[in-house]
Amino acid sequence: MGEVSILEDNKRNPVKASDRVLGKTPYYGANGIQDYVKGYTHTGEHVLVAEDGANNISNYPIYYISEPSWINNHAHVITSNQNLISNLFLAYSLKNVNYLKYLVGSGRYKLNAKILKLIPVSFPSINEQKWIGNVLKKLDDLISLQQRKLDLLKQLKKGLLQKMFADKDTKQPVLRFDGFSGDWEQRKLGTYIIEYNKKTTKNNEYPVLTSSRKGIFFQKDYYDGHQVASKDNVGYNIVPYGYFTYRHMSDDNLFKFNINTLCKFGIVSTLYPVFTLNTSADKYFIYYYLNYGKEMQKFALIQKQGGSRTYMYLSKLRKLRFIVPLLIEQEKISTILLAVDNLLSLQQSKIDKLTLLKKFLLQQMFI
């Protein structure tokens, strides 16, 4: 690469966060924009390649910039020979490199300038480079647009969760549907919980499930085709479709409650209690309350009794006191939140497909 580009690392200037002057110029480090400041170190088109501190070795941080920017000393600054190769094409070409064989050190890897110059780069005619670069740039812009939409949906969900639930102090939510008024009432969660304690009687009687912070999955899907549960899963808890399960211990006071939406029956370790609700409560209202409600977070903190781990046995969970509206209002709240979650899933799916398309094009368009 040293034959088709030059390094402009000598212009870089690291500035401590406390010494930066707030402005509109992007301040770049190894992993992209860290801040916005006044002034700049570089103008024009450049390619940034992480020198050290890369947060992802398999998807190495490479950035194409075309506006005044401030670059610190954790990113190499490359300018291509425009008669041979365009900066935009070079940026996408460098995304295809396996950097692991070029990095030195252990733990905090480093890509030395001398080694960077030795990385081989292949390129077609300038016209073909421009075409490839423009196609990939448009795809990147589309991915960024879809990501912004996803971020807005996440903000919407966060706002709804904050305003559609009451607590024991307010007793009424900030945001409420027409036709509903009056205080929510305090109840024990145990009023609604129905424990389910059936267990498997033979090995692999039903699919093994993984209940995680990200949701509920078939274990083989979650672990890329592998089943990490015990080879003998006789005695595992059975989780019928539509029932709750959760890991009853936590190292950070956070508990994730999941509902089996995958299969008629699944199984989980005995560390994961299983329960359903009676008809006096809306299943998904309770789901959102347990996962996002302030009272649940406070209750979890109270359960910690020495040591670093918090235990939330079902017997303890039953004692949670929370503020709850009438069933019909519960259903309206959960319907809105489920609709937003469905939009989030669809939006994430769009981004995943576009990212997969970009990966395919990068593999096919470069030698």
Q: Is the predicted pLDDT of residue 309 greater than 90, yes or no? A: no
How sure is the predictor about 225, in pLDDT bands with cuts at 50, 70 and 90? low
Amino acid at 288: Y
The count of other CB atoms within 10 Å of the CB of residue 249 is 13
How high is the pLDDT of residue 306? 66
Alpha-helical (H) ranges within 181-282 are: 219-222
How sure is the predictor about 366, in pLDDT bands with cuts at 50, 70 and 90? confident
CB 73 within 8 A of CB 14: yes
Q: Which two tokens stand for residue 330?
A: 């519960």
The CATH 3.90.220.20 domain(s) of the chain lie at 5-123, 185-324
d(CA 241, CA 228) in angstroms, rounded, equals 22
How high is the pLDDT of residue 227? 63
- Regarding the domain delimited by 127-178+329-367, which CATH topology (the fold level of the hierarchy) does it fall under? Helix Hairpins (1.10.287)
CB 265 within 8 A of CB 206: yes
Amino acid at 366: F
CB 325 within 8 A of CB 180: yes
Percentage of the chain with pLDDT > 70? 98
Q: What is the pLDDT of residues 17-34, one digit of tens each?
A: 999 999 999 999 999 999
How sure is the predictor about 302, in pLDDT bands with cuts at 50, 70 and 90? confident
**Nearest C-alpha neighbor of 293 from the set 195, 170, 191, 196:** 170
Average pLDDT over residues 279-293: 95
d(CA 215, CA 256) in angstroms, rounded, equals 8
- Regarding the domain delimited by 185-324, which CATH topology (the fold level of the hierarchy) does it fall under? Adenine-n6-DNA-methyltransferase TaqI; Chain A, domain 2 (3.90.220)
Amino acid at 126: I
DSSP class per residue in 86-113: -HHHHHHHHTT--GGGT-BSSSS-B--H
Q: What is the pLDDT of residues 39-85, one digit of tens each?
A: 999 999 999 999 999 999 989 999 999 999 999 999 999 999 999 99
Q: What is the pLDDT of residues 190-211, one digit of tens each?
A: 999 999 999 999 998 999 999 9
Q: Is the predicted pLDDT of residue 125 greater than 90, yes or no? A: yes
Average pLDDT over residues 299-304: 85
d(CA 75, CA 52) in angstroms, rounded, equals 7
Where on the phi/psi map is residue 235: left (φ > 0), alpha (ψ -120 to 50), or beta? left
How sure is the predictor about 234, in pLDDT bands with cuts at 50, 70 and 90? very high
The CATH 1.10.287.1120 domain(s) of the chain lie at 127-178+329-367
CA separation, residue 367 to residues 1, 91, 363 (Å): 15, 14, 8
Average pLDDT over residues 217-235: 79
Q: Is the predicted pLDDT of residue 243 greater than 90, yes or no? A: yes
Domain 5-123 matching CATH 3.30.450.20: the answer reads: no
Average predicted confidence (pLDDT) for the chain: 93
> Between 273 and 308, where is the model more confident?
273
d(CA 48, CA 111) in angstroms, rounded, equals 12
Q: Is the predicted pLDDT of residue 350 greater than 70, yes or no? A: yes
How buried is residue 74: exposed, middle or buried, by Cβ count under 10 Å (0-12/13-18/19+)?
buried
